[in-house]
Structure 1
């Protein structure tokens, strides 16, 4: 087990209580099931994003980049399992479907980053104004 994996598992499982996804679920059969899986995936992504942001404070050059790459791979695999997909099924999708999924993921990621950055900037601004 390498250092990044040990850190992510220790912090992720014990501190942030990140769910461990060990097996692939069946494909969703209803809209309600899709909504429930979406909520489960969003919670997982938020916690992994928090773990990623925490890696930036470690004063080891390149550590945050390596941690981000590991967490991105883990998130993709875990979300695929939550929705009942595996790597082979995703690779068999048409290019149009892959592009739509990539665009949706990019939009969701940008919105999440925008919310986090905006709230962080607002906190800094309020703190500076309050002085």
Structure 2
């Protein structure tokens, strides 16, 4: 489990670099004027990228399962509170396609613009880059928030019941 805010910030920075590289690859595939190549490459890129981000933040299903019960509950509660669709889950092609369908407006615009001579490919590449960057960075933000909440919950002392007064011997 991540211990410090600095460590968490470094992980976020590393993951943002991974997202930028994947976004560039997505943009490169989008300029190829063959139907379906761009969406297929986006699915492949996300199938690799999202699990790597989860792993960096300690949020793969295996990493979560290896936690003690209390930590596992904290992480799963944080995932639920953030509303992440990809943290702590096995990333499947079906899940990626579902998420890409939510961005279908951008994908449709990318597909149509690809066939406009010269400028169309550049626009399609830009849209693809932006869509991939948005999806990746949104997931990083979710993971960061989840990891931060879990870390802060782990560091905060357990709450005592109202009216509970520790004995002097318990304070030493």
TM-score by length of 1: 0.50
- Large movers: runs of 4+ above 6 Å: none
Alpha-carbon RMSD across the aligned residues, in angstroms, is 3.3
Aligned-partner Cα distance in 2 for 1:42–1:52: 15
Q: Which has the higher contact order (CA 8 A, sep 6+)?
A: 2
**100, 109, 118: which is aligned to 2:134?**
109
Distance apart, 1:109 and its partner CA: 1.5
Determine the structure 2 residue equivalent to 1:36.
10
Say how many residue pairs are matched: 81
Determine the structure 2 residue equivalent to 1:50.
24
Determine the structure 2 residue equivalent to 1:17.
none
Distance 1:96 1:87, change over 3 A: same
Bigger radius of gyration, 1 or 2? 2
Aligned-partner Cα distance in 1 for 2:40–2:86: 24
Q: Secondary structure at the match of 1:39?
A: helix
Distance apart, 1:55 and its partner CA: 0.4
Distance apart, 1:57 and its partner CA: 1.7
Distance apart, 1:73 and its partner CA: 2.0
